[in-house]
Structure 1
Amino acid sequence: MRRLIFCTMMVMALLGCSKETDLSGIEQELSDLRDKNKHLQDEIDEMKKPVPADPVLLGLNFWAADNATLLAADVKGEIIGDSVVECWVPHVMEDKKLVADFQFVGETVKLNGSTASSRTTAYDFKKPVKLLVTNQNKSKEYTVYVHAFTGLPVVWIETWDRQEIVSRQEYVNANFRLVEDVRTRSAGDVIETGMQIKGRGNSNWAMPKKPYRLKLDQDYPLLGEHKDKAWVLLGNYADKTMLRNSTAFYMGEISNLDYTPKAHFVELMLNGRYQGTYQLCEKLKRSKHRVDVGDDGFLLEIDDNYLPEDAVFRTPNLKRPVNIKSPSVETGSEDYNYVKDFVTTAENALYSTNFTDPENGWQKYMDMDSFVDWYLICEIARCNDAVFFTSCYMNLTRGGKLKMGPIWDFDTAFGNVNYNNNFKTEGFWVKNATWYARLFEDPAFVAKVKERFTYFYNHQGDIFRHMSEDAVYLRHAAAENENRWGTLYKETWPNYDIWGNYTNEVQSMKEWLTERFNWLDYQFRVKM
């Protein structure tokens, strides 16, 4: 600007000079300066314009007034992290074509690519929806999940400072709330307490839907079961029916096994996020109301996935590590030596020349009824881990016999695995495992197996009825779980095949079990 004024003055001075002087160069320079000044002023004006903020979603709600036929109450979404919106509808809801209220900074909101208007546009939120907030050349994407009450009890867990659960060894502090009826929240339906939580499982821990171990601050009788601090949440990620553990546990309940863990289907909300349908289950432990082996008995697990700090031992024939799970004992202690010596003595009797002698053979140390029923449940289900690999539990009372049980971990059973030929309904599996191969050389054991198989075979109606009742009970939960995890219609390790929707998955499991029962019936009744 100053330069322009100076040049103007110079021009005026020159005009006072001789009229014969050539002023064309000065006039061109003056014109150039005017152009530069205009460009400079445009830049200044542009800088003075307000800079638009980055696009961001501030809130998302579904008001009952905007969704009068679908919502009984307002639903307020929670923005978790910077890209997830969780919405919880506290009643059963199959139709999720809802009108949303968006609070945002930006120019437009798009739902799965279509422009949406706040409190105007109805959109189907049955599956996760991509929400995009745009502002000129910038955009911010969110995923909106709308989950509805399914009729199941709901577990809310909030870790302190929303700390992530990343370990199976280290507990994280948290708050626990269990609501049996989300709609009424009547007296006695709500349990709230402090707790600790960590991961659990082997291959299951590597799956997207994690299983967890819970330790409450004090004993509570969750969902009508005996009070205790120790519980687990089973994710059943690989089991698209979510029925396999429940079906096996039912078979355990009608068997001669002393104890089968109680489990209840629940929905899990972890740090504000819906995590799907779980089974809240009693943790296996020595206890009067769980594995009742007295105050000085033991819970054992044949466990190829033991940890370095576990008290384990091996026997000459079994060769698999036997882990003393409960109570906690030190390697080399009196308790440790008692268990190791007893199991070794029992195995020696099993492999002795007079092992069939009911007084001095294997039956002196090993309980016939539990070994038979544990075998049959695992063989009928063709449980992949039951060949004394892992999750094979035994219990021992001082002064008593070694017993099999409780049963555990059947998500890769009932044809739900694509290796070891365990997707087939034909063929023995557990019968060929160490110890059982020897037991089948005893005519008394074989006779008992045949007798007890007939019992289970005759209870097929009850087993299938239990499966059907569970499937109906889970009909809304299955839809919400699929909304969260999307496992149907796609390959999920270690599934053998893809059966489509939830109903087809359940029907496939039923057909597999029917064929399995028929094949075993022919083997035990005709060929053996």
Structure 2
Amino acid sequence: MAFFSCKKETIINQSLIAETASTYNFIKFWFDTAQNPLYLNSTISMTIDGNSITGRVPYYTNITSLIPSFEMNGVSVTVNDSAQTSGVNAQNFKKVVYYNVVGEDGTKSTYTINLTNFTGLPVINIKTADGIAISSKDDYVTGTISIDGAGIYDDLSETLMKIKGRGNSTWGQPKNPYKMKFDSKTAILGEAKAKTWVLLANYFDNTMLRNGTAWFMGQLSNLDWTPSSHFAEVFLNNVFIGCYQITDQVEEGSNRVNVGDDGYLVEVDQLSRLDADDIYFQTSRILCSIKAPDVTEGDEQYTYIKDYVTAAENALYADNFTDPEEGYAKYLDVTSFVDWYLINEIARNTDAAFVSSCYMNLIPGGKLKMGPIWDFDIAFGNVNYNTNYSPEGWYINGGLWLERLWKDPAFIAKLKTRLAYFKSEENTILGYINNTATSLNYSVIENNNKYQTLYTYTWPNYAILGSYDNEVLYLKTWLHSRLAWMETALDTL
């Protein structure tokens, strides 16, 4: 299984660090290929920084039973009070291991040994029946999945599932997104059990952070539910296919869009994007695909949601639409519309002007809510379309329904209040970006080795920014400029 080339091996830190300052300490710590011939092709030298020892090994190294070698200036070394001999005693390095260097007087210096396997992210292995290719967005292929949680999440033993392609402009790119479905509800990477999961490729987003950044903002917002996600390395039929973002499917469910047995989840979409079996209705201005519940065109449930959305639209475009009792506020949950709009406008999300992936939900007896948010890979300034690369200028407010809401001074007042809130959370959002980018440090190298998207143009990106650090810095500075422009622009209204 020669996935890990010699070229990639040069990434591993081979430096040795001088003796640390503690009275009793490690001088060197390494994994010798002579003691681990089955798992290592070359000796891995670990870096000692204070009382932290770190290093990286290639994938397919069995780090649950590695034998370390070390030099120290104490009288003994222990792990959990068990004596350790250099080059003899194996340990499970899937999680942090604490080694103690013991001195003549019985005092100890404790070290944390943190060994990164491959990229440090969980690894997902997908195998299709007979190795068949996943070539369709319509037809599932049967197979199995297993997950190595990398010591961060629970492992998943080989489990039956089925998988197909997904996406619109993303499908057919060199790195494809997928939708996966289990026979019964299954937990993935620490999330609540569900049958359906999505593997986002983020091929158009060289940071791989734009969806996650928007969802982090969603989790700071008043929206009822926002998808959660985790990054993982994915192998398909024993071939590495890159870093993927594993996330919830937007669907009705107690752990997802919780509208109960009689509630509705609809998507504002385009006729050209509907599947043959999609059930939809049209008002005079928008088309809505009914995602939940299962309905038949013309039945009671179908008629209810169609009539409600139509009544909401009529109220929104009526002469008295600003009336708090008889206008659009009678039908729309304004709080959700405000936050949904702001997150998409902050991101200048290309599809969010009531074009596609714009979800609404309704529980009978309540009001129509916007959400959840979805699909931000061509947002936050990385798309060369309608000047959306610029942090200045309004965009989402031109969409149907949204342009009408903008004509209500009460709605604008709510936007100002909520934008001030998101602006106050800017450093928290930037912290999410920084921390997640750091966690992807090695993954970015492997993903780029596979697809060569850094330093080359990828449609529909705005510019070639080069290194991953440049891509992340651009995202952060763009977001900072966008929030500042919106704050100033709203103050003039």
Report the TM-score when normalising by structure 1: 0.72
The percent of aligned pairs where both chains have the same amino acid is: 47
AA in 1 matched with 2:326: N
Q: Of the candidates 156, 165, 171, which is equivalent to residue 140 of structure 2?
A: 171
Counterpart contact for 2:39–2:62, Cα < 8 Å:
no
Q: Of the candidates 115, 120, 132, which is equivalent to residue 151 of structure 1?
A: 120
1:74 has 2:42 as partner: no
- Aligned equivalent of 1:371: 337
- Aligned equivalent of 1:312: 280
Q: How far apart are 1:70 and its partner, in Å?
A: 12
| Unaligned runs of at least 5 residues, structure 2 | 10-30, 42-57, 64-115
Matched position secondary structure for 2:124: strand
- Aligned equivalent of 1:461: 427
Q: How far apart are 1:88 and its partner, in Å?
A: 3.8
Q: How far apart are 1:408 and its partner, in Å?
A: 0.3
- Aligned equivalent of 2:399: 433
User: Which of the two has greater helix per residue?
Assistant: 1
| Unaligned runs of at least 5 residues, structure 1 | 1-56, 77-86, 93-146
Q: How far apart are 1:523 and its partner, in Å?
A: 0.6
Q: How far apart are 1:289 and its partner, in Å?
A: 1.1
Count residues in correspondence. Answer: 401
Task: Tell me, in whole angstroms, the C-alpha distance in 2 between the residues paired with 1:60 and 1:287.
Answer: 40
Cα distance per residue 1:355-390 (max 9 Å; x no partner): 111111101100010000000000000000001111
AA in 2 matched with 1:74: Y
AA in 2 matched with 1:400: G
Q: How far apart are 1:308 and its partner, in Å?
A: 2.7
Q: How far apart are 1:192 and its partner, in Å?
A: 2.8
Q: Of the candidates 376, 381, 389, which is equivalent to residue 415 of structure 1?
A: 381
Task: Tell me, in whole angstroms, the C-alpha distance in 2 between the residues paired with 1:236 and 1:59.
Answer: 22
AA in 2 matched with 1:167: S
Matched position secondary structure for 1:377: helix
Q: How far apart are 1:60 and its partner, in Å?
A: 10
- Give 1:57-456 correspondences, 5 Å limit: 68=33, 73-74=38-39, 88-90=59-61, 149-181=118-150, 188-304=154-270, 305-316=273-284, 318=285, 320-456=286-422
Task: Tell me, in whole angstroms, the C-alpha distance in 2 between the residues paired with 1:287 and 1:412.
Answer: 27
Task: Tell me, in whole angstroms, the C-alpha distance in 2 between the residues paired with 1:58 and 1:449.
Answer: 54
Counterpart contact for 1:311–1:324, Cα < 8 Å:
yes
Task: Tell me, in whole angstroms, the C-alpha distance in 2 between the residues paired with 1:502 and 1:185.
Answer: 24
Counterpart contact for 1:381–1:413, Cα < 8 Å:
yes
Cα distance per residue 1:418-473 (max 9 Å; x no partner): 11111111110011111111111111111101100000011100000100000001
- Aligned equivalent of 1:502: 468
Cα distance per residue 1:6-31 (max 9 Å; x no partner): xxxxxxxxxxxxxxxxxxxxxxxxxx
Report the TM-score when normalising by structure 2: 0.77
CA RMSD of aligned residues (A): 2.6
Task: Tell me, in whole angstroms, the C-alpha distance in 2 between the residues paired with 1:241 and 1:362.
Answer: 39
- Aligned equivalent of 1:484: 450
Task: Tell me, in whole angstroms, the C-alpha distance in 2 between the residues paired with 1:73 and 1:455.
Answer: 55
- Aligned equivalent of 1:109: none
Task: Tell me, in whole angstroms, the C-alpha distance in 2 between the residues paired with 1:59 and 1:346.
Answer: 55
Q: How far apart are 1:306 and its partner, in Å?
A: 1.3
Task: Tell me, in whole angstroms, the C-alpha distance in 2 between the residues paired with 1:70 and 1:220.
Answer: 39
Q: How far apart are 1:155 and its partner, in Å?
A: 0.9
Summarize the Cα distance change of 1:179–1:60 in structure 2 as closer, same or farther, 3 Å threshold: closer
Counterpart contact for 2:4–2:59, Cα < 8 Å:
no
Matched position secondary structure for 1:203: coil
Larger-Rg structure: 1
